[in-house]
C-alpha cells in the first residue's frame, strides 16, 4: 500500500480496518485492494489506467464507507479510469473517493463512469480532490447514470484544496419512478484555473425528484462555467437547480441553469447568483481584525465546506 496516499487522504487508520473495503490505484497500478462480503471489486490494469468494476449484490447494505483512491505520484502522467458500478436492487453503498495529485505538473486524469442504481437501491458517492499548487492538472470526470424505481443517487464533488487546473465535469442522470437524484459540486478556482460543470438530470419516472447544487468560488484570472439542467417528463416530478458563484479580482463566472418541463404535472425551479463577497459579511470580519484577504478566504471556505 502506498502509505503517502493514505496519509494525504487522512485515511491510513481507516484502511487498517478489515471490514472497510478499498481500492488504491497509482497511475495504472492497483497498489492495494480489500473486498468484503457482498461487494465485488474487479480491476484490470491497462497501459494508461485501470478498469474498475464494482458490484454491490442484491439486498446487500454495505455498512462502512468504501474508500477509492485514484492518485498519481509522478509529475507527468495520464490516468484513465473506466468505472462500471452496479448497485443491485435493494442494495446500498457509500463511497468516498480520494483523487490525489500532490506533485502534478502535467497530469491528465480521465474518469469515465457508468452507474446503474437498482430498484430501491442507494448509491452515495463523495469525491475529494487533493491537488498540488502548480495547477498542471487536467481532470475530466464523466458519468452516465440510471436510477431505477425508488433508487437514490447522491454525489458530492469537492475540489477546494490546491489548484484546480482544468476541470470539466460532465454528468448525466436518468431518474426513474419515485427515485431521488442529488448532485452537489464545490470548486475553488484561482490563478488561471478553468472550471466547467455540466450536470443534467432527466426526471423520466413519476414522482422522480432531482436537485443540482453548485458552489463555485473563483479569483485572480480563473474562469468558471456552470450548465446545470433538469428535464422533467413525468407526472409529479420535482426538481431544483441551484447555482451560487463568488468572484474576486479579474475572475469570470457564468451560470446557466436550464429547466425543461414536458409534463403539465411536473414542476422544476431554479436559482442562480453570481457576485462578489457580500460587503456586510466582509466588513463584519474586518471589524473583528481580519484582513480583507483573510475575510474573503473564510467566507469562501464557509460557502464551499458548508
Indicate whether 288 belongs to the interface with another protein (CB under 8 A): yes
Indicate whether 128 belongs to the interface with another protein (CB under 8 A): no
Q: How far apart are the first and last CA of the chain?
A: 32
> 302 CB contacts (<8 Å, ≥6 apart)?
none
Closest of 155, 92, 146 to residue 115, by C-alpha: 146
Supply the minimum distance, in Å, between the C-beta of residue 99 and another protein.
Answer: 22
Indicate whether 305 belongs to the interface with another protein (CB under 8 A): yes
Report the helix count and the strand count for the chain, using DSSP H and E: 3, 19
- Which of 13, 18, 47, 287 is close enough to bind another protein by CB under 8 A? 287
Indicate whether 291 belongs to the interface with another protein (CB under 8 A): yes
Stretch that binds another protein, among 156-164, 170-178, 221-229, 280-288 (CB under 8 A): 280-288
Q: How many residues are recorded in the chain?
A: 306
- Which of 82, 184, 254, 281 is close enough to bind another protein by CB under 8 A? 281
Indicate whether 43 belongs to the interface with another protein (CB under 8 A): no
- Which of 18, 47, 264, 280 is close enough to bind another protein by CB under 8 A? 280
Indicate whether 147 belongs to the interface with another protein (CB under 8 A): no
Q: Are the beta carbons of 89 and 55 closer than 8 angstroms?
A: no
Alpha carbons 44 and 30: distance in angstroms, whole number = 9
Closer by beta carbon to another protein, 35 or else 278: 278
Instruction: Report the 3 state secondary structure along 156-208.
Output: EEEEEECCCCEEEEEEEEEECCCCEEEEEEEEEECCCCEEEEEEEEEECCCCC
- Which 237-256 positions form the footprint of another protein (CB under 8 A)? 244
- Which 48-67 positions form the footprint of another protein (CB under 8 A)? none
Contacting residues toward another protein, per CB under 8 A: 244, 278-281, 283-292, 294, 298-299, 301-306
Amino acid at each position: 500500500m502506498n502509505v503517502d496516499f493514505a496519509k494525504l487522504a487522512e485515511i491510513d487508520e481507516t484502511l487498517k480496518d478489515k471490514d472497510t473495503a478499498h481500492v488504491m490505484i497509482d497511475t495504472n497500478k492497483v497498489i492495494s485492494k480489500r473486498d468484503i462480503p457482498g461487494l465485488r471489486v474487479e480491476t484490470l490494469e491497462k497501459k494508461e489506467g485501470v478498469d474498475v468494476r464494482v458490484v454491490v449484490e442484491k439486498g446487500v447494505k454495505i455498512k462502512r464507507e468504501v474508500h477509492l483512491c485514484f492518485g498519481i505520484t509522478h509529475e507527468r502522467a495520464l490516468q484513465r479510469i473506466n468505472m462500471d458500478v452496479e448497485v443491485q436492487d435493494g442494495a446500498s453503498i457509500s463511497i468516498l473517493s480520494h483523487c490525489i495529485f500532490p506533485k502534478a505538473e502535467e497530469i491528465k486524469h480521465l474518469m469515465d463512469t457508468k452507474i446503474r442504481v437498482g430498484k430501491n437501491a442507494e448509491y452515495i458517492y463523495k469525491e475529494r480532490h487533493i491537488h498540488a499548487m502548480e495547477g498542471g492538472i487536467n481532470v475530466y470526470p464523466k458519468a452516465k447514470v440510471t436510477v431505477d424505481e425508488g433508487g437514490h443517487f447522491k454525489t458530492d464533488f469537492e475540489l477546494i484544496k490546491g489548484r484546480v487546473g482544468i476541470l470539466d465535469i460532465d454528468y448525466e442522470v436518468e431518474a426513474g419512478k419515485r427515485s431521488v437524484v442529488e448532485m452537489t459540486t464545490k470548486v475553488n478556482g484561482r490563478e488561471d484555473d478553468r472550471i466547467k460543470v455540466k450536470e443534467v438530470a432527466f426526471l423520466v419516472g413519476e414522482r422522480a425528484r432531482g436537485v443540482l447544487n453548485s458552489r463555485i468560488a473563483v479569483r485572480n484570472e480563473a474562469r468558471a462555467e456552470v450548465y446545470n439542467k433538469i428535464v422533467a417528463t413525468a407526472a409529479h416530478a420535482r426538481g431544483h437547480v441551484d447555482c451560487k458563484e463568488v468572484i474576486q479580482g479579474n475572475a469570470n463566472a457564468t451560470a446557466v441553469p436550464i429547466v425543461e418541463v414536458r409534463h403539465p404535472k411536473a414542476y422544476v425551479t431554479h436559482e442562480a447568483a453570481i457576485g462578489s463577497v457580500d460587503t456586510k459579511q466582509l466588513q463584519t470580519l474586518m471589524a473583528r481584525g481580519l484582513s480583507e484577504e483573510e475575510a474573503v478566504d473564510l467566507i469562501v471556505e464557509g460557502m464551499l465546506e458548508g
